[in-house]
Every structure is written in C-alpha cells, then in structure tokens.
C-alpha cells in the first residue's frame, strides 16, 4: 500500500510569508534607483572620473536589489516552510518546489505591470529558486523564522553580486538596465578586474554566511528535535512508572479489601444470627431496629470498599449526595470558602462510581483554586439538565475567574504528566478517565486572564441501570 499524504500547515509562518509577498508588491513604489541616488552617482562618477564611486554605486545597486527581492523570495520560502508534509518525500519535494516556483514569477510580472520596472529573471533568480526549493525540503520548523530569513537574505545578497560582475556579461547575469550601465562604465574606466574581484569576494562572503547559517539552523533543529524526543521518552518512562505504581497499589488494595471484607462478612453473618435470635425471642422493636441499622452500615461500608478498588463498580446516586460528599471532603481546605454550589437538580440520579466522581470533582475544584486570586477568587460548581439530540444528560460545570488557559495549554491539559504548577499532572487525566468510564464527556472552555470552565456531561441515571 502506498503511503498517504500527510500535510499540516503552520499558520503563523504562513501568515508571515503571505504578508511578505504582499509587502514586496509595494516595495518598488518607494525603493527605486532614485531613492539610492544611483543614476546621479553614475553621472558624477563619469564627470569626475572617480572609479571608486562606481564601486560604491555597484554596492548601492546590490543593496537595492536585495531589499526588493527580500519580500517575495523570503515570502515564498516561508509559505513553503509553513507546509509540513510527512510520510511521502516525493509529494513533499513536488509541492514545495511548485510553491516556490509558481509564486515568484507572477510577482515579477505584477511589478512590471504596476511600476514599469523590469525584474530580470536570469540565472541568479533561477539559482535562488533551486536553492530555496532544496532548503525548504528540510522542514526546519523548530528554528525561529528570523534565523531562516537571515539565511535566505545571505543567499539573495550573494546572488545579486553576480549581476554586477563584468566577466559574466555574456551570460544571463545582470541584464537589467542599471546593471549593464555599471558594467559599461567599469569597462570605460578599465576597472573591470577590480569590479570582478569586488563582486566575487562579496559573493563568496555572503554565500559562505548563508551556508554557515544553514548548517547552524540544521544543527539547532536537530538539537531541538532530540530535546523533544527526550521529553517524550521521559514522559513515557514516567507513565510506565506510574502504571507500575498503580498496578502495585491496586494489588495492595486488593489484599487490603480482602482483609477488610473478611471481618465485615463475619460481622454481617453474626448480626444476621443475632437478628434472627432476637426475632425468635420476640425482642422489642428498638433492638431489631438497631440490628437493621448495623446491617445497613455494613452493606454501605462493603460497597464503598468495592468502589475504591473497582473503577467500574457503579452506584445509582442523587446529585445532592455526590455534592454533599464533595463539600465534606473540601470542608477543611483553605479554598472551601471560595466554592459556591448551584445544584438545580438535587434529586436527579447518576450511575457513577461515587468515590471516583467525588475525587474528580475535588480535583477540578483544586485546579481552579490554583488559578484564582486567593482573596478575590470565585469557584462555582453548577449542576443542570442538558439535552443533546433529544437525549437528556446532566451537565456539571466547574468555573473560576482565574488566569485562564491558552489554546496550547488546553490541548495539553489531558495528557498524563502535563502540569503548569510543578505537580505530577495526573489530575485532569484522571478526571477524563472517570467521566469517560461513566459514559460521559469532558471539555474545557477558557479565556486568558478571564477564567476557565470545565464541563462534564453525564448520562442521566435510571433505576433500570441497576442490575
């Protein structure tokens, strides 16, 4: 089976690339040979017979051409860079080559139509297209855009110096009107060798800088990639250790539950025998009532132990009982006074694991506390009915007026091990696991510097859910 094309777009890079392309269309309106006084300096160099001034004019011309070319070449390069293609090298090379080669010629055409300035599409331009196409294949997306723009600028400058080399006059180099004039005057002054040497030195200098930046960018990208892989490995190791710890804890809990249930079962049997004996001797109603309470307490304790150990052990509970347990757990915490409960459906039943759903809600309240101002903070736990596609659900939302979360933080929030406050990062992953196991969904809505709301959607519990 051939590999499918997998493509992602890095939006910030794409936006910068497109912006540079549009900016390059306006550059000829204020960057002209008159801006740099090139024509005036050429005339002065001829009148005063100053060959040195001609070298200065050549440098000004190269600077002008570099600035004019910067927008569309860097823009095309960044647009190609913004498209990240994996799993298919053939498509990657073809698409990126098309982007670079298709974008730049129309810019040349539009500039000529709008400003009547002819951008010569010679060997330097073709060389730049090939060079940018090759560089864009590397996908160095872990390196800053500024460094990549500096690299492209170095290559552009290097190629522009070829346009003022008299020795390349008979080849497709420097066919622009001003470039030809510079080389003609150099021949008139008989300083062609000097101009050749000047252009060659700067060509080699900028090309070397471009190559050096390329290797630096490549190495930095590799180091950042290695760092990311190291973080992933560390996260996997931590998750493996946590699973091992959880498995060991589960085994210890099973032994503990067995040890707890054995005396409970004995107590339950003894209470049953005593109850039957009391009924046989026709004991008073108060004694029988006491035995009934003892039996019910033992049953509740047995169910609680099962819920602690088995995550798929569910009970049918009203929401008021769940919230009561949550408030009981946080009653001695420093943030209990910040919590406000709005339970509009106190009698509504939920089919959940009581211990785990309570722990999940406490985790969400704790997360909200760490995000709010301890004095002005506000945490609201609201319970309401919720309808999706004509099906009835229970909506539990935990809202705060804290610092909020960015989109990147929201995307990473459910990853086990991720944390923004030096904790183990297991809270939200645990919440998602609990809600998913209960047949529900969980989502985060947040605005930076405004607050965060975590929304839990759970199916309504019915008496038919209990076997």
Q: Which DSSP letter does residue 336 get?
A: G
Identify the bridge partners of residue 318 per DSSP, sorted by sequence position.
349
pTM over 0.85: no
Instruction: Read off the pLDDT of residues 394-420 as tens digits, 9 standing for 90 and up.
Output: 999 999 999 988 888 888 777 765 555
Average pLDDT, the chain: 82
Split at pLDDT 50, 70, 90, the class of 361 is very high
Question: How many C-beta atoms lie closer than 10 Å to residue 3's C-beta?
Answer: 11
Would you mind telling me the total number of residues written for the chain in this entry? 467
Structure tokens at 461: 């519990």
What pLDDT is recorded for position 424?
Answer: 42
Instruction: Read off the pLDDT of residues 103-145 as tens digits, 9 standing for 90 and up.
Output: 888 888 888 888 777 777 777 778 887 887 777 767 777 888 8
Closest CA to 20 of 60, 63, 86, 80: 80
Tell me the backbone φ, ψ of residue 332, rounded to 5 degrees: -100, 5
Q: Which stretch of 31-45, 386-400, 423-437 has the lowest confidence by average pLDDT?
A: 423-437
Split at pLDDT 50, 70, 90, the class of 208 is very high
Q: Which DSSP letter does residue 460 get?
A: P
Average pLDDT over residues 444-455: 91
Q: What is the rounded CA–CA span in Å between residue 225 and residue 228? A: 5
Closest CA to 442 of 338, 367, 377: 367
Split at pLDDT 50, 70, 90, the class of 457 is very high
Can you point out the beta strands (E) in 296-390?
315-318, 339-343, 349-352, 379-388
- Write the Ramachandran bin of 49: left for phi over 0, alpha for psi from -120 to 50, otherwise beta: left
Average pLDDT over residues 448-461: 91
Alpha-carbon distance values, 235 to 18, 245, 248, 344 (Å): 37, 15, 20, 41
Alpha-carbon distance values, 440 to 325, 351, 361, 388, 394 (Å): 20, 11, 14, 12, 9
- According to DSSP, the β-strands at 349-352 and 391-400 are unpaired
């Amino acid at each position: 089976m051939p590999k499918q094309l997998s493509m992602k777009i890095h939006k910030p890079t794409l936006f910068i690339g497109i912006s540079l392309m549009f900016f390059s269309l306006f550059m000829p309106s204020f960057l002209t040979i008159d801006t740099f006084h090139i024509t005036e300096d050429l005339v002065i160099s001829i009148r005063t017979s100053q060959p040195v001034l001609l070298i200065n004019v050549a440098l000004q011309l190269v600077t002008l051409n570099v600035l004019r070319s910067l927008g569309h070449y860097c823009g095309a390069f960044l647009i190609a860079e913004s498209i990240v293609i994996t799993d298919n090298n053939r498509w990657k090379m073809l698409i990126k080559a098309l982007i670079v080669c298709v974008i730049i010629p129309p810019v040349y055409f539009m500039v000529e139509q709008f400003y009547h300035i002819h951008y010569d599409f010679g060997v330097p331009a073709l060389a730049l297209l090939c060079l940018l196409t090759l560089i864009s294949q590397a996908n160095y997306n872990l390196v800053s855009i500024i460094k990549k723009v500096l690299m492209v600028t170095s290559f552009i400058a290097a190629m522009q110096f070829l346009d003022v080399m008299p020795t390349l006059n008979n080849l497709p180099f420097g066919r622009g009107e001003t470039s030809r004039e510079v080389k003609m005057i150099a021949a008139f002054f008989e300083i062609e060798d000097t101009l050749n040497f000047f252009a060659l030195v700067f060509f080699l200098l900028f090309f070397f800088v471009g190559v050096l930046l390329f290797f630096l960018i490549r190495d930095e990208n590799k180091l950042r990639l290695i760092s990311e892989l190291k973080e992933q490995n560390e996260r996997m190791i931590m998750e493996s250790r946590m699973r091992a710890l959880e498995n060991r804890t589960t085994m210890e809990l099973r032994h503990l539950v067995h040890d707890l249930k054995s005396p409970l079962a004995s107590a339950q049997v003894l209470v049953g025998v005593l109850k039957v004996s009391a009924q046989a001797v026709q004991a008073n109603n108060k004694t029988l009532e006491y035995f009934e309470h003892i039996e019910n307490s033992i049953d509740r304790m047995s169910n609680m132990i099962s819920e602690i150990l088995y995550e798929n052990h569910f009970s049918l509970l009203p929401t008021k009982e769940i919230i009561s347990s949550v408030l009981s757990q946080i009653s001695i915490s420093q943030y209990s006074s910040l919590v406000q409960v709005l339970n509009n459906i106190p009698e509504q039943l939920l089919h959940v694991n009581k211990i785990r759903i309570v722990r999940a809600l406490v985790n969400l309240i704790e997360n909200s506390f760490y995000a709010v101002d301890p004095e002005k903070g506000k945490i609201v736990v609201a319970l309401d009915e919720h309808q999706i596609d004509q099906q009835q659900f229970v909506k539990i939302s935990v809202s705060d007026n804290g610092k909020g979360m960015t989109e990147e933080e929201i995307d990473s929030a459910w990853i086990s091990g991720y944390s923004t406050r030096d904790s183990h990062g297991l809270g939200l992953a645990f919440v998602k696991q609990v809600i998913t196991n209960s047949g529900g969904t969980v989502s985060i809505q947040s605005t930076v510097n405004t607050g965060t709301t975590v929304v839990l959607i759970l199916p309504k519990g019915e008496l038919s859910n209990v076997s």
